[in-house]
Amino acid sequence: MIWVVEQCYPWGDYGGILVKGLASRESEGGPLLLHRAGPFLPPISFPTLSGIVVSDEFRHELEGPGFTGVRFVPTIKARIINLAWHKWDRTAAEPKRYPRGGEPEEYIMDKPHDARVASQMPEAWEFLPPLVPLRMERLEDPRGGYLDKFRAYPSEPHYPGLFLSRHEYGHLVVDDDTRKWFECRVGEWVRFCEVEFAATETV
């Protein structure tokens, strides 16, 4: 079985922006520009808009098991603001503090870059697993919305234990063994969505 790895976070969109942050690129193929709260950096995060980011410590762990084809590219700390959200009660129904304007992005985007906090944040790397194209779709919930489950249309007989399903806005996909590895190391920051295979590829 294979699984899509997604971010796990509290407090709806407010927790999403704090855990994931935002990222952009000035040009196609350029480095990720990070906009997020610090100095705490989760070991793995999936910034809104682009990329997968890992801390320097988790990068070293990812280099250990012998995952093939993975690469790491330095990111740029474009806008890092001081907010110790990781000390808030993540089991609470709401965040300890809401942004002044009420919109989740205003935790970050209404404040200037803090170079001191950025210097205290661990080095952040864009995580680039091998690209293995796999068309997938999220399954709809008959009651409305979508399920935490995907259907895949394979074009290859076998897939590696860790890969990215497409270049832009692709999913991080793992097999059972790699899922267990991630659960042991970053289980509080990610969740796993089951992927079922369609019988045949459709055009």
* Phi/psi at 178 (5° precision): -70, -35
115 and 18 both lie in a single domain? yes
Are 25 and 76 within 8 A, CB to CB? no
141 and 119 both lie in a single domain? no
pLDDT value for 179 = 97
Chosen domain end from 128, 144, 170:
128
**pLDDT exceeds 90 at position 130:** yes
Chosen domain end from 111, 128, 145:
128
**pLDDT exceeds 70 at position 202:** no
120 and 142 both lie in a single domain? no
Considering the entire predicted model, what is its pTM? 0.93
Chosen domain end from 82, 110, 128:
128
Whether 74 is in a domain gets the answer yes
Tokens of 90: 């993540």
81 and 149 both lie in a single domain? no
| CA proximity to 7, closest of 40, 58, 42, 57 | 42
pLDDT confidence tier of residue 165, bands split at 50, 70 and 90: very high
27 and 61 both lie in a single domain? yes
**Rounded (10°) angle between helices 56-63 and 176-186:** 150
- Rounded Cα distance between 131 and 198, Å, is 20
pLDDT value for 129 = 96
**Edge-first strand listing for the sheet containing 76-82:** 22-24, 33-38, 76-82
Domain with 188, as residue range(s), is 135-197
117 and 149 both lie in a single domain? no
Domain count of the chain?
2
**pLDDT exceeds 70 at position 200:** no
Whether 88 is in a domain gets the answer yes
- Residue 200's DSSP bridge partners are none
Whether 118 is in a domain gets the answer yes
**pLDDT exceeds 90 at position 74:** yes
Whether 4 is in a domain gets the answer no
What is the rounded average pLDDT of the residues 89-111? 95
161 and 182 both lie in a single domain? yes
122 and 30 both lie in a single domain? yes
19 and 119 both lie in a single domain? yes
**pLDDT exceeds 70 at position 40:** yes
Q: What angle do CA 162, 57, 79 make, to 5 degrees?
A: 95
pLDDT confidence tier of residue 178, bands split at 50, 70 and 90: very high
